[in-house]
Chain A
Amino acid sequence: MKLTNGNYVRPPARYSWWLRQGRYFRYMMRELSSLFVGIFSIIMICGLYQLSQGEAQFTAFTSSLWNNFWWLSVITFLFVTYHSYSWFIVTPKAMPLRFSGKKVAPWIIIGAHMILWLICSIFIWFIFTNGGAQ
């Protein structure tokens, strides 16, 4: 579009810009992970609601989740894992830690988050499979 002062403005690719470069595509996949975070949150909330409605409803919910929607869970797992990875990989930018006046190396901050992620995951798994025994 030519402006009155002679300058020319190139119209941006409003719908397809994110297909032009790998970094934009990865960004959009990262953002799209929120759809799957939302889907799993709603599945969990529905499960809790069915739980409050009684045993029959809850069993129907779990069998439907496991038998009919396992494929959705696989996609959700992949996207949400990418969310975790992409979230932790940028932590040094949001959190520039300093230790005795020196900048902490980014890989240490990222590594600490990845280890925390692993510990949380194992902890949740362990608590759930072993808890409730008492």
Chain B
Amino acid sequence: MNVKLPLKASNKPIIWSLFAAGGTVTALLFPALILLFALAVPFGLLPAELFSYDRIQGMLDNTFIKLIVFALLFLSIWHAAHRMRITAHDFGIRADGFIAFLFYSIALLATILLVIALF
């Protein structure tokens, strides 16, 4: 129950600010995006033609839209990575160094893939 010395200054603000920003944008946009891209067609809410290659590609030709998509997915992936690190700890997995390395590596790879895909 005692404070364990020495206390170290934490660099958590870097990842926490990504987590907080990511949490906010995913909370605002992800339910609608999942409904739109993953559920609307199989549940017959929208015709599949709306999601044609040409139409999506055409939308992403716009640099502004491209940047928004990048910002959204960059934040959401780092939000998820950080929260899953905490969740692993909560589930009783104590290898925090390894877990952090694992999830942040996945997030980094996903970020690289995102850059390759978009730009």
* Direct chain A–B contact by Cβ atoms under 8 Å: yes
Chain A positions near chain B (C-beta within 8 angstroms): 14-15, 18, 28, 31-32, 34-35, 37-38, 40-49, 51-52, 54-55, 58-59, 62, 65-67, 69-70, 73-74, 76-77, 80-81, 83-84, 87-88, 116-117, 120-122, 124-125, 128-129, 131-132
B116 CB, nearest partner CB in chain A, Å:
7
Asked whether, in the complex, the Cβ of B87 is within 8 Å of the Cβ of A52, the reply is: no
Residues of A within 8 A of B42 (CB): 66-67, 70, 73
Additional A-B contacts beyond A49-B113, A117-B31, A132-B55 (6; CB < 8 A): A40-B33, A42-B77, A48-B118, A83-B23, A125-B32, A128-B36
Q: Count of B residues near A, CB < 8 Å?
A: 54
Chain A residue nearest in CB terms to B47:
A129
Chain B residue nearest in CB terms to A62:
B51
Asked whether, in the complex, the Cβ of B34 is within 8 Å of the Cβ of A40, the reply is: yes
Residues of A within 8 A of B39 (CB): 70, 73-74, 77
Asked whether, in the complex, the Cβ of A51 is within 8 Å of the Cβ of B31, the reply is: no
The complex places the Cα of A48 from the Cα of B77 at a distance, in Å, of: 14
Asked whether, in the complex, the Cβ of B76 is within 8 Å of the Cβ of A37, the reply is: yes
Asked whether, in the complex, the Cβ of B80 is within 8 Å of the Cβ of A35, the reply is: yes
Residues of A within 8 A of B24 (CB): 87
Chain B residue nearest in CB terms to A44:
B73
The complex places the Cα of A66 from the Cα of B90 at a distance, in Å, of: 33
Chain B residue nearest in CB terms to A43:
B38
> Quick one: given A58-B56, A70-B38, A73-B34, are A34 and B27 in contact (CB under 8 Å)?
no
Partner of A80, one of B31, B41, B59, B86: B31
The complex places the Cα of A39 from the Cα of B10 at a distance, in Å, of: 29
B27 CB, nearest partner CB in chain A, Å:
4
Q: Show 18 residue pairs from A and B whose CB-CB distance is below 8 angstroms, ordered by the A residue.
A: A28-B87, A28-B90, A31-B83, A31-B87, A34-B84, A38-B81, A38-B84, A42-B77, A48-B118, A55-B54, A70-B38, A76-B34, A76-B38, A80-B30, A80-B31, A117-B28, A121-B32, A128-B36
